[in-house]
């Protein structure tokens, strides 16, 4: 094991401090724990003491993760990020994730599908895919589920039809007889910027514009 030197102890809040090992912010402890373990700057943390801390923080990280999951679903990477924000060491984070996975509380596939299901009425597929990537979802999983979800789903077409009718000031069931080239180009550009593909745009415009 690499020598673990306590290079600094920084105040996190009124109850906790951040322990920096070898100049990295490694984990947070309550001030009472700091006193009980007799830790101070310049000390070398031995393997036994480090493992004891990691074990205690693993239980704490698991409880924190379970508490977060009571309010909403999380992607695995998203949940890891939340735990890192609370200064849990990586070993404790992995231990918490492994425990939660055993009981099926984390399911990236379910999360991604539900994300499309609940948000596809107002956002384009491209926008939703980008949001999921930002949240840490696996790119291959996103594409696989998106392909399945949109195969028989016309939600994007309905969105575009609604947007176009609003843009052209048409009533809910009203269609346009025709549209000039310049207006059509502006309309397509407007929809393209919102993340819709040309194939979906053209399908939707054929519904709204009779001689499209």
CATH of the domain at 25: 1.10.10
- Give me the domain span that covers residue 70: 4-102
pTM: 0.74
pLDDT tens per residue across span 101-119: 998 899 999 999 999 989 9
Q: Do 24 and 74 lie in a common domain?
A: yes
Of 12-16, 143-147, 168-172, least confident by mean pLDDT is 168-172
Q: Do 195 and 144 lie in a common domain?
A: no
Beta strands in the chain (DSSP E): 4-11, 16-21, 24-30, 44-45
CB 105 within 8 A of CB 69: yes
Q: Do 119 and 98 lie in a common domain?
A: no
Structure tokens at 31: 């001030």
CA distance linking residue 148 with residue 120, whole number of Å: 13
CB 119 within 8 A of CB 128: yes
Q: Do 71 and 17 lie in a common domain?
A: yes
Task: Name the band, by pLDDT with cuts 50, 70 and 90, for residue 212.
Answer: confident
Q: Do 116 and 184 lie in a common domain?
A: no
């Amino acid at each position: 094991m690499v020598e673990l030197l306590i290079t600094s102890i920084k105040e996190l809040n009124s109850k906790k401090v951040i322990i920096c090992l070898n100049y990295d912010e490694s984990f947070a402890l309550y001030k009472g724990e700091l006193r009980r373990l007799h830790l101070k700057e310049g000390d070398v943390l031995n393997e036994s003491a480090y493992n004891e801390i990691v074990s205690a923080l693993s239980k704490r990280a698991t409880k924190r993760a379970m508490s977060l999951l009571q309010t909403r679903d999380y992607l695995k990477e998203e949940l890891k990020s939340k735990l890192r924000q609370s200064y849990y060491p990586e070993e404790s984070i992995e231990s918490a994730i492994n425990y939660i996975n055993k009981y099926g509380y984390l399911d990236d596939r379910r999360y991604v599908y539900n994300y499309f299901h609940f948000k596809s009425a107002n956002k384009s597929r491209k926008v939703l895919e980008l949001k999921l990537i930002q949240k840490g979802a696996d790119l291959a999983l996103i594409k696989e589920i998106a392909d399945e979800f949109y195969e028989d789903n016309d939600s994007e077409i309905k969105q575009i039809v609604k947007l176009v009718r609003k843009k052209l000031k048409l009533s809910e069931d009203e269609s346009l007889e025709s549209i000039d080239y310049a207006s059509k180009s502006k309309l397509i550009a407007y929809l393209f910027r919102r993340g819709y593909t040309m194939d979906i745009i053209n399908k939707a415009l054929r519904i709204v514009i009779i001689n499209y």
